[in-house]
Amino acid sequence: MIRQTLFIALALCLTAGAVPAQDVTVPPTLQFSISNPGARSLGFGGAFIALADDATAAFANPSGLVQINKPEISLEGRYWGYSTPYTERGRIEGDPTGIGVDVVAGLRGGTSSDDLTGVSFLSLVYPWQDWSIALYRHQSANFESFSETQGLFAGGSTTCCRFTDDRVHTNLEILSYGLSVAHRFTDELSLGLSLAYFDNNFDLVRHAYLPDEDDVLQIFAPTSYSPERMAWQTSLHIDDTDWELTAGFLWTVSPRWRLGGFYRGGPSFELRAEAYSGPGGFVFGLPAAGTLIGQGTSPGAFPDVYGLGCAFRSDDGRLTLAFEWNRVEYSTILDRLDPDDFDSNDLVLDDGNEFHLGGEYVFLRSTPVVAARLGMWLDPDHQPTATAASDLIERVLLPSGETEIHWSAGIGLAFENSQIDLGADFSDPVKTVSLSAIYNF
């Protein structure tokens, strides 16, 4: 019963005649951030690797830690507001009959709105001569979504096919704990290395429901999602850990210009998929409720990321401009799957290029010193897309996503031994607000 892809799901097609089973791949829209931590970086639009001048460099670009002259503690809290689109109802093909819930021409989308908060970054940096060492905890992902369909139809006005209505819960959390070391080789060049332990947790649970009665006329009736009418449950799980390395460099080309770069390995994991029959599965000849009807496992990995950046600072130190390019190897998510258990040949997921641009102006004569920041960045489409060889429903429900533009702003207050920063990042699918504090002693 399982279509063995990364985003595994089941759906059954209800027709007036035979009742065939049909596998449908409907992936969740996963939103996980590979951007740099810290409210200051967020205000810069994420263009930070050529700056890397505070404790968040432990994750972003460890080579920048040598710029810290005193022991430093950093703490960041974030708010994430997600607006995740999904297909709710409508016609995959054919015209609506106008009966019951079959009244929508084309497809109509819904939105899952979810608000989350958490401590996203915590670090301790200790400098010594030309060396710096840091310990950190970083939340790379904190995401939830819920979707619910209510009538997906195919066929014409005389022959109608309705797919089961699904409720899908998705939860993704990635935490990393790292040790970073940096060394200043010359006044112009420093290198850094970070070893991180990743704790990866992902759950996608899909419940498929039948109409409330075993009657052909109920094909057009609303679904009440009664527990007794659940046909089956499918799920994807990741509960795994991994060690990965990050390497970075920082090169001061001149008093005004600096270059930075990094490579960060994506954590690997084991993906498990399971399917169980439900109380309503008897309609299709499935065994008793709770019976395992399919399963699969496969190795997998989140994307590797590498990037380059440059920064310019004016002679008086008031104005700073930064640019960053990141290459995100999203294709790794599908490519690392075991084709014997998870065949992803009908899906395409391309690598993406992120472009970050930001600026900061510092009011040096104020007490405390005040910094204002603006930024933007380009988030490429990274949704799995069905190929031309895919089934009709896959092609309809898996269209290409959109490239999103993020706008950001921030403000910072610098005291003698501490700094407080507030940053915000806005786009259609996700809004992020960050508050961070740094204390050196």
Amino acid at 117: T
1 domain-assigned: no
Q: 31: domain range?
A: 11-440
Burial of 200 (0-12, 13-18, 19+ CB in 10 A): buried
Q: Buried b / exposed e across 12-31, counting CB within 10 Å, b at 16+?
A: bbbeeeeeeeebbbbbbbbb
- pLDDT by residue (tens digit) across 363-377? 988 889 999 999 999
Residue by residue, DSSP assigns 225-245 as: --GGGEEEEEEEEEEEEEEEE
Over the stretch 116-132, which tens digit does the pLDDT of each residue have?
999 999 999 999 999 99
Q: Is 391 inside a domain boundary?
A: yes
Q: How many domains does the chain contain in total?
A: 1
In a domain, 6, yes or no: no
**Over the stretch 101-116, which tens digit does the pLDDT of each residue have?**
999 988 888 889 999 9
> Residue 324's closest CA among 246, 267, 262, 272?
262
| Contact call for residues 298 and 341 (beta carbons, < 8 A) | yes
Give the pLDDT score at 158.
57
How high is the pLDDT of residue 396?
67
Q: What is the pLDDT of residues 387-419, one digit of tens each?
A: 766 666 666 666 677 888 999 999 999 999 999
Which of the pair, 159 or 436, is modelled with greater confidence?
Answer: 436
Read off the CATH number of the domain in which 299 is found: 2.40.160.60
**pLDDT of res. 179:** 98
> Does 415 reside within a domain?
yes
Residue 243: beta bridge partners? Answer: 197
Asked if residue 177 belongs to a domain, the reply is yes
Q: pLDDT, tens digit, for every residue of 218-234?
A: 888 999 999 999 999 99
Average pLDDT over residues 145-170: 83
Q: What is the pTM of this model?
A: 0.87
Residue for token digits 């429900």? 397
Please check whether residue 196 lies inside any domain of the structure: yes
With 90 as the cut, is the pLDDT of residue 250 above it? Answer: yes
pLDDT of residue 26 exceeding 50, the answer is: no
- Asked, for residue 114, whether it belongs to a domain, the answer is yes
Most confident of 88-102, 113-127, 152-166: 113-127
Q: How many Å apart are CA 287 and CA 26, to the nearest integer?
A: 24
CB 287 within 8 A of CB 230: no
Q: What three-state secondary structure class fits 179?
A: strand
What's the rounded Cα separation, in Å, for the pair 281 and 287? 7
Q: How many Å apart are CA 203 and CA 260, to the nearest integer?
A: 36
DSSP letter for each residue of 377-404: EEE-----EE-TTS-HHHHHHS-----E
- Position 59 in a domain: yes
